[in-house]
Amino acid sequence: MSKRIPASPVNRKKRRRSLSPIHNAELPKVSVIIPAMNESKTIAAVIRQADQVHPDTEVIVVANGSTDGTAEIAQTIGARVIHMPFPLGHDVGRSIGAAAARGDILLFTDADIVIKASDLIPLTKAVEDGVDVALNKYLGPTDKHHVHSVILAKHALNILVSNPELKGASLTTIPHAMSRKAINLIGIDNLAVPPKAQAMAIYNGLKVRGVHYVDVGRRNPRRGRTKGNDPLETLIVGDHLEAVDWLISKSGMRGNRSDLTRNRESVW
């Protein structure tokens, strides 16, 4: 279980510690990829936790469209910073970061939530132990009648790609880790559309597992029933549809499902 660490360090000891820069490994085992846009309040703590995931770690911050000094803070702490002056749009930073990553294991997280290293390590450990895509088991609120469209889409996609045991575990949710093999098979560009990447991984027989529960719910500002005017909700549902469209392109119009004894030609 994760607890959020307060964004503003009150404790002086902590503040002093945060001044010493991290050290990126020459030959990293784990690359942590952190897309960031105006997250100057949390970025330092996020980088520091990420750095502790493995002795040989590199931390890559993809700072895009930031005007609050996020990139400069990341630079000062010692992360590898890829600087883009304009916003990349949702999840594009993952592709950019992955392209620069040198590790065998890629760990993806976000800059707006500080997740303790102890909640990140189970994911990279699972990949070390043979899982190709290690997902956060967090599902969001599902003990209700009408769930959020994003939760519904995540569950539906896993059912449609024949991996319903994952329930709503998804590459859309951070944190998650991937093997180099998974990255190569999925293709770096497809990481920007996480549900599609997930469909590709599952369809191609990669080991995709929910391995650890990290509560990332509280950072989502909008929950419950929305009237469909949330652009992020629209984007994520669209991503899932795009994933289904990809699945159909590979497995036919019924997704390799049986028609049983249906005699379609009986009616015209």
Chain residues 11-70 in contact with another protein, contact rule CB under 8 A: none
- Strands 208-212 and 80-84, how do they pair? unpaired
Distance between CA atoms of residues 98 and 107, nearest Å: 9
- Residue of 25, 147, 146, 22 whose CA lies nearest to 73: 22
One-letter-per-residue 3-state SS of 238-259? HHHHHHHHHHHHHHCCCCCCCC
Q: Is 159 in the site for another protein (CB under 8 A)?
A: yes
Contact status: 257 vs another protein (CB under 8 A): yes
- Distance between CA 23 and CA 28 in Å, rounded? 11
Peptide bond into 175 cis (omega under 30): yes
Helix axes 117-128, 43-51, angle to 10 degrees: 40
For another protein (CB under 8 A), the number of binding residues is: 58
CA 163 from centroid of its chain's CA atoms: 18
Residue 238 binding another protein, by CB under 8 A = yes
CA 156 – CA 152 distance, rounded (Å): 6
Among 88, 133, 177, 178, binds another protein (CB under 8 A): 88
**Which three-class secondary structure state does DSSP give residue 174?**
coil
185 binds another protein (CB under 8 A): no
Residue 266 binds to another protein (criterion: CB under 8 A): yes
For another protein, the binding residues in 130-149 under the rule CB under 8 A are 142-147, 149
Smallest gap from Cβ 144 to another protein, in A, equals: 6
* Closest CB to another protein among residues 52, 251: 251
For residue 217, state whether it binds another protein (rule: CB under 8 A): no
Contact between 110 and another protein per CB under 8 A: no
Cβ proximity to another protein, 11 vs 261, nearer residue: 261
Residues lying near another protein in the complex (CB under 8 A): 86-92, 95-96, 99, 142-147, 149, 151-153, 155-156, 159-160, 164, 188-192, 228, 231, 234-235, 237-239, 241-242, 244-248, 253-255, 257-264, 266-268
